[in-house]
Every structure is written in structure tokens, then in C-alpha cells.
Amino acid sequence: MHTFNINRRQFLQGATATLALSAFGAQGMDIINPANPYRVALIGTGWYGKSDLFRLIQVAPVEVVALCDPDKNMLNAAGKLVSQRQKSGKTPKLYGDYQKLLAENELDIVLIGTPDHWHALQTIDALKAGANVYVQKPISVDVMEGEAMVAAARKYNRTVQVGTQRKSTPHLIDAKKNIVDAGLLGKISHVEMCCYFHMRNNGNPPVQEVPAFFDYDTWTGPAPMRPYDGLPHIRWWRTFMEYGNGITGDMCVHMFDTVRWMLGLGWPTKITSTGGIFVQKEGKSNISDTQTAVFEYPELKCVWQHRSWGAPNNPEYPWSFTLYGEKGTLWGSTMKADFIPMDKDAKPIHMDVVYEKEKYPEDLTEERIELNAAPATRLHMLDFLAAIENKSRPVADIEEGHISTASCILANLSMQTGRPIVYDPKSRTIVGDREANTLLARPYRKGYVHPNPKSV
């Protein structure tokens, strides 16, 4: 057990301190006793894996003891960066095999920043090794993977935080507390969520030889083996259903998770989705370029829409959620929030993203950093650490991450089958649809065993 020594005066000087204290209760955790650093490993040293690790380094005493990646060039570069960022100045041990990393190191925390198709196996193996886990969203590529991850977290009694950090985004915490929870919207009976970013890679690169520095077989893992046509981990993998769940799995999961958190929603009662590749047909990509999904609750429908072409319906909110209440409307995104009251005498409320450039000047020199997301990820890490110490559930507990992830996966299954989906989480089955039930677990490549929630 780690001992925290909180200097509340120093803590309260932070720009997001008030929000952090309200989000995490009376226990602020910005100043932590460095006598007993967390032993940390990162699996997947790409852009966002390193970003998560650097945010953790900024808010807690850690010793990054090991890194893992099948790309030796990326791994070596990450090792050098970590040595420059962590207090000890040490270069972590470098691995190409994550199972060897877990076997050879005693770890408190494992961060998982690999592509989606690896999340389940690596999370479960890290939990079995005794570590707490921070895993990126979406947590899985199929529903049964997610069920197994929840079961493993409970069986091994470890904390798992999912990287759905909108729940730790200062202006959205404020919007939930002072607009939604305060009743300014009145009854909410319709929600819209969207992403209109032109983010669908759709090229036609030629098949080529795998470079010597890259272990393509290990990178592919349990997923189907595609002909090698360039480094997949440089954003190319997201354009294929073999490794993820398209833009719905990547972007809807954030907004839907935020809406569920704001409104206190659990599993949808029914999910329906339609869409396909309607415009961008020229390349190799097999994820939808156009999709609508409806997540139904009693007297409430949450509607998702994405297009990777054309213009957004509201240029101010191209990736966002909108809560429609009888008394007003709330628009929210990673950048801002706007409450528009129905009462003409009431005042609109505007909230902006919180930046911490002065407090963390190193943010300004970090390659590809999302400055708007950095404060949220720091708060998310603090919440993760508080849950570890208190043996409580974090704000983005694995079960909540599973509901949001699985709902997006089920939307894709609805689009695939052409039928509505009703999922029963107690029996872990789709009600009355034998064909759809066969799609709850994807086949794994030979040599890999799909996790089973009954026997993790």
C-alpha cells in the first residue's frame, strides 16, 4: 500500500483543483509522497500509449521499469524519451514480448496503449500478474472479450481504469454538476451524438516486405493476418474491422460513455444501426464511412451519426453530444459546452476547455500531444490512483467501459445483420437471434485462445 502525503495548499493552487476535489471527493491527490513510487510498465509505445504514460509521470511518483512494442525503432525511441521524463533518469527495460515483460517484473500498474485487438488478452494477463491496469478505449473488439475483462478484474480484485477521460474533463464535470444534475434541462428525452471528422484512412498501398525492425506476426496477434502493406500502427490499422470497430467503436464510445455518465444510464434496452461505405469506395478501408445508431432507453433515444465525408451539421461541434431537455439544450465536446435555455429570460451558459500550459510547460514540446485532453487525462490518472489506494471503483471502471464499448460493437452487429439487437447482460446473450449470438466472439487466429468470462 502506498502512503499519500497531500499538501492541500499546494493542491489548491492548481487550475483544476476545485473540479478535481469535487470529482474525487475530499481526497486531493496532486501532491504525493515520492518515497514509494509505483512500478509501471507500458505495453504499446505508440503516440497515445506514451501520452498516457507521460500524464501519469506528471501527477504521481512512478518508476517506469519496462516498455513493450513489436516495433524496435519505436520501442528504442520511447525508452529514450522515458529516461528523459522520469525522475530517476533510468531507461526502462525493453521487450518485444509482453508476456515476458509481465513474467520478469513485479508491477503495480500496467498501461495498455496497443491497438484494440490486443486489449483483452493483455489486460487479463496483466491482472493475472497482479497489476492494476489502465487500458485504452474501446476495451475490446468483441462483446465476450469485454465480459471476460470485467470477470478478470473482479476475480483478481484489481483496479481497471478505461481511457474514457471525458468523465475527467473539467468543463464537462462542471456541466454535469451545474446544468444536468442541477435540473436546468428538465426531463431529457432525446440525445444526439456525432463525429464528422474526415478520419477514415482509405489508401491503396502495395503489399511489401516486412521491415526487419518490425515483428508483424506479434503485432497481429489474435487478429486475422492481412497482407503487409506498410506499418499498420501509424494510424492505418483503424481503417480495418480486423483490428477494431470502425469510427463507431473509436469515437462513439467516448460520446456515448459521456452521455451515460451524465444521465446515469446503464445498458440500452435495444440497439439499431444502419450504414455502410456509401461514398469513399476507392480504397482498401472496410469500415463504414456513414453510420447511424440508436441506443434506446425508456422514454429516451440516444442517436449516433458519423460521416467521414461532407460537412458537420454544426461546425462548432463536429465531434460532440447534445442533450435535449424540456427546459433547454446542452451541447458538449472536448473543447467546450453550451447550455441554451428555452426560457428567453434565462441566461445561456458557456464553458471552455481547461488548459494547464503554465503548470505543465513540458506539454508544449511533446510531439502530437492533445493539449485539450492533457488535463483530463491527468485527472483520470489521479482518479485511477485514488481507486487503487481506496480499493474502490474508478470513474471509468472496466464495467462501465465494457457497457459503452459493447454497445458500440452491438450497433455494428445490428448494421451487419440488418436487425435490432437486444442484449441481455445477465445471460450474456442476444435475445431471440441465434445468428447474432454467434458474432459475440470473433474467431482468433491459430495459436491464440479467446478469453472466456467463466474461466479467466
Q: Which domains does the chain have, with CATH numbers?
A: 8-166+370-398 (3.40.50.720), 168-361+402-437 (3.30.360.10)
Cβ–Cβ under 8 Å, residues 62 and 56: yes
| Secondary structure (3-state) at 77 | helix
Cβ–Cβ under 8 Å, residues 135 and 162: yes
User: Angle at CA 53, nearest 5°, toward 142 and 362?
Assistant: 140
At 36 the pLDDT is 83
Mean pLDDT of the chain: 93
Q: How far apart are CA 141 and CA 244, in angstroms?
A: 5
Residue range 401-425: mean pLDDT, rounded:
98
The pLDDT tens digits of the residues spanning 197-252 come to 999 999 999 999 999 999 999 999 999 999 999 999 988 999 999 999 999 999 99
Q: Which residues pair with 328 in a beta bridge?
A: 341
What percentage of the chain carries pLDDT values higher than 90? 91
At 34 the pLDDT is 40
Residue range 375-397: mean pLDDT, rounded:
97
| Region label for 358, one of left (φ > 0), alpha (ψ between -120 and 50) or beta (otherwise) | alpha
Q: How far apart are CA 64 and CA 87, in angstroms?
A: 10
pLDDT at position 45 over 90: yes
- Cis peptide bond prior to 298, omega within 30° of 0: no
| CB contact set of 29 (below 8 Å; sequence gap of 6+) | 4, 6, 11, 59, 60, 382, 385, 386
The pLDDT tens digits of the residues spanning 64-119 come to 999 999 999 999 999 999 999 999 999 999 999 999 999 999 999 999 999 999 99
At 35 the pLDDT is 57
Question: DSSP letter string over 168-226?
Answer: G-HHHHHHIIIIITTTTT-SEEEEEEEE---------PPP-PPPTTB-HHHHHTTS--P
Q: How far apart are CA 364 and CA 355, in angstroms?
A: 11
Q: How far apart are CA 406 and CA 160, in angstroms?
A: 17
Q: How far apart are CA 67 and CA 158, in angstroms?
A: 21
Cβ–Cβ under 8 Å, residues 166 and 418: no
Confidence of residue 253 (pLDDT cuts 50, 70, 90): very high
Q: How far apart are CA 429 and CA 419, in angstroms?
A: 15
| DSSP class of 336 | E
At 91 the pLDDT is 98
Cβ–Cβ under 8 Å, residues 353 and 379: no
Q: Which residues pair with 350 in a beta bridge?
A: 338
Work out the end-to-end distance of the chain between its first and last CA atoms, rounded to an integer number of angstroms.
26
Cβ–Cβ under 8 Å, residues 321 and 169: no
At 7 the pLDDT is 33
Centroid of chain to Cα 274: 24
At 11 the pLDDT is 33
Q: CB neighbours (10 Å) of residue 25?
A: 11
User: Angle at CA 311, nearest 5°, toward 310 and 313?
Assistant: 130
At 234 the pLDDT is 86
